[in-house]
Copies of this chain bind each other. A is one copy, B any other.
């Protein structure tokens, strides 16, 4: 029998809709060749002969997608947090990223990152590397080894940043990108390239134009940053005075959702026109609440994005965000939506736990296809959660245990099993 064919028994929860959980206490999740056949209170006759993995009283939930993070920034997460974005980039980020020219350093750092990500709640991730093609390939090698499924981008940037991290010209940036794409083509099962202009300010028009062409030629998805910080937005307007709004720059060069699946991180301060364009173009928003706190960027209007049916997922934005935990990311997203409601707009109701959970699972995971749910037809990414060390005197429902786990994952929770597309990771 295919080893990705089995039944998980335990307390199974997943998002039935954006606002509603499916909860089956002591139920059975049927995984057939990596694909869910649904969750049942009893094993259906057709699946009686499948091996059952009994997870006891554990919770079983879908794996989570970290829709935005910077792998090379992992070594300095939690450091230098007393700054805003642009100063932080020059002071901490660019000097650190320049070190990845050294492949030994890169291998060492990415090995740590990949190992920690493997142990986390994340089953899928979309990651920035650096400008360095060899280091980025090492990142991909290390991620491939984890069994997680990821998109990884070699960063492009040819202006407006420290020399140490600037590519010498648009042409060089593009040539190196092509070389990297050729080098990794077909090399991995789980790890795919994604086109990664760092953000509009550090990309010349020539570079953006070339990247737009590469996108078409290689049919690549795209990731970048958008409307994170007010100074950044003003800067983009200065650099691209013809643009109607920040995202219009990416769109002008064919990298804003119309031509290719696209993720834009942050979207804290989007004007109306930008939101409309994102909606029309089906741009994914990677909401990174902790990063938006740490870099004093503000609070993104996630409720609005949900109301507009713009695809939204969550990102840790390592190292703008310090924590790798997607549970923490959910808690932060819920918390910030409460402050958005209290401080900015009382027509925008806070996210419920169910909605936060949806964002971290189906919301972001849909970038990878039918992922993030246990409904029939979805790839089985699953986490087995042991919460017995989050001690209580109460008998809690599975739903309450999940809520509690989101808030207390790092104070006693333990992920004791993890599957990606039906394959056991640990």
Copies of this chain, count? 2
Q: Are B78 and A407 in contact (CB under 8 A)?
A: yes
**Nearest CB in chain B: distance from A91 CB, A:** 13
Per-residue CB contact flags for chain A residues 401-419 toward chain B (1 = under 8 Å, else 0) read 0011111101100000000
- In the complex, A400 has a CB within 8 A of chain B: yes
- In the complex, A334 has a CB within 8 A of chain B: yes
- In the complex, A338 has a CB within 8 A of chain B: yes
The verdict on A408 contacting B77 (CB below 8 Å), with A82-B353, A296-B341, A298-B342 known, is yes
Counting chain B CB atoms within 10 Å of each CB, which of A296, A299, A352, A390 scores highest? Answer: A296
The verdict on A105 contacting B343 (CB below 8 Å), with A335-B293, A408-B322, A411-B325 known, is no
- In the complex, A49 has a CB within 8 A of chain B: no
Residue of B294, B324, B404, B407 near A411 (CB, 8 A) is: B324
Q: Are A338 and B293 in contact (CB under 8 A)?
A: yes
Residue of B74, B78, B80, B394 near A406 (CB, 8 A) is: B78
**Nearest CB in chain B: distance from A391 CB, A:** 5
Please, how many angstroms separate the alpha-carbon atoms of A354 and B259 in the complex? 47
- In the complex, A76 has a CB within 8 A of chain B: yes
Q: Which residues of chain B are within 8 angstroms of A77 by Cβ–Cβ distance?
A: 404, 407-408
- In the complex, A86 has a CB within 8 A of chain B: no
- In the complex, A392 has a CB within 8 A of chain B: yes
The verdict on A293 contacting B112 (CB below 8 Å), with A400-B79, A411-B324 known, is no
- In the complex, A323 has a CB within 8 A of chain B: yes
Please, how many angstroms separate the alpha-carbon atoms of A390 and B112 in the complex? 10
Q: Are B403 and A296 in contact (CB under 8 A)?
A: no
Please, how many angstroms separate the alpha-carbon atoms of A295 and B338 in the complex? 8
**Nearest CB in chain B: distance from A18 CB, A:** 15
The verdict on A82 contacting B335 (CB below 8 Å), with A112-B391, A394-B75, A404-B77 known, is no
- In the complex, A116 has a CB within 8 A of chain B: yes
Q: Which residues of chain B are within 8 angstroms of A301 by Cβ–Cβ distance?
A: none
The verdict on A407 contacting B338 (CB below 8 Å), with A350-B296, A391-B112, A394-B75 known, is no
Please, how many angstroms separate the alpha-carbon atoms of A391 and B76 in the complex? 10
Q: Which residues of chain B are within 8 angstroms of A1 by Cβ–Cβ distance?
A: none
**Nearest CB in chain B: distance from A292 CB, A:** 9
Q: Are B411 and A350 in contact (CB under 8 A)?
A: no
Q: Which residues of chain B are within 8 angstroms of A295 by Cβ–Cβ distance?
A: 338
Q: Which residues of chain B are within 8 angstroms of A298 by Cβ–Cβ distance?
A: 339, 342-343
**Nearest CB in chain B: distance from A332 CB, A:** 9
Please, how many angstroms separate the alpha-carbon atoms of A8 and B408 in the complex? 32
Q: Are B411 and A338 in contact (CB under 8 A)?
A: no
Q: Which residues of chain B are within 8 angstroms of A334 by Cβ–Cβ distance?
A: 81-82
Q: Which residues of chain B are within 8 angstroms of A244 by Cβ–Cβ distance?
A: none
Residue of B74, B341, B392 near A112 (CB, 8 A) is: B392
Please, how many angstroms separate the alpha-carbon atoms of A335 and B323 in the complex? 13
Per-residue CB contact flags for chain A residues 83-127 toward chain B (1 = under 8 Å, else 0) read 000000000000000000000010011001000100000000000
Residue of B78, B109, B393 near A109 (CB, 8 A) is: B393
Q: Which residues of chain B are within 8 angstroms of A339 by Cβ–Cβ distance?
A: 293, 296, 298-299, 339, 343
Q: Which residues of chain B are within 8 angstroms of A353 by Cβ–Cβ distance?
A: 81-82
Chain B residue nearest in CB terms to A335: B293
- In the complex, A396 has a CB within 8 A of chain B: yes
Q: Are B82 and A350 in contact (CB under 8 A)?
A: yes
Q: Are A391 and B116 in contact (CB under 8 A)?
A: yes
Q: Are B116 and A407 in contact (CB under 8 A)?
A: no
The 9 A-B pairs of least Cβ separation, nearest first, read: A410-B410, A78-B407, A322-B407, A78-B404, A296-B338, A293-B335, A75-B392, A109-B393, A75-B393
6 residue pairs bridging A and B, Cβ less than 8 Å apart: A78-B405, A82-B352, A105-B393, A293-B336, A296-B338, A322-B404
